[in-house]
Amino acid sequence: MDDDSFIDELLSEADTKWKVSSTAKEIKEEIEEVVVDFFEPLLHYEKNKENMKNILEKLSDYIYIHPDEPIFPGRYIRYLDSKYYDNCKLSKGEIVLKYEPEKDIILLKRFRGIFKIKKSKVCLFMKLNKTDKFRAFLNEYGDEYV
């Protein structure tokens, strides 16, 4: 299989509902900015200083989902919720079952059950799949290969 065929195959298998339009560097910078902004008012709690560092490491293969962006079923997400403001942690990781934008509700599946969250109450991150990472690569270096 030649390179062009390989690239065509990867793109044809891509999720047509979601397309990464940022470079890997932009994705990383945005995650850092969002996480630091989220934790800024909470850093006077000692546990949150270490939590913020750990979360930045854990989100290396994720992209921030803006409040106005949709989220699609089947995608793996993690989120920050300021509900536990004195010890904020990243959620364990869930699979999106359904998103109802008119109700601001995301139905999620976790190992132990199904539950829902309000999208506007959390800071949401979606796991990048191989195609997403490939698109980020092309956004950064694609012109060099055309």
The dihedrals phi and psi of 77, each to the nearest 5 degrees, come to -130, 160
Determine the Cα–Cα distance for residues 131 and 134; give it in Å rounded to an integer. Answer: 5
For 74-112, what is each residue's pLDDT tens digit?
999 999 998 888 899 999 999 999 999 999 999 999 888
DSSP state, residue 41: G
How many independent structural domains does the chain possess? Answer: 1
Which structural domain, as residue segments, surrounds residue 79?
A: 3-145
> Contact, 124 vs 71, CB < 8 A?
yes
- Supply the pLDDT for residue 22: 85
pLDDT tens digit sequence for 20-58? 678 889 999 999 999 999 999 999 999 999 999 999 999
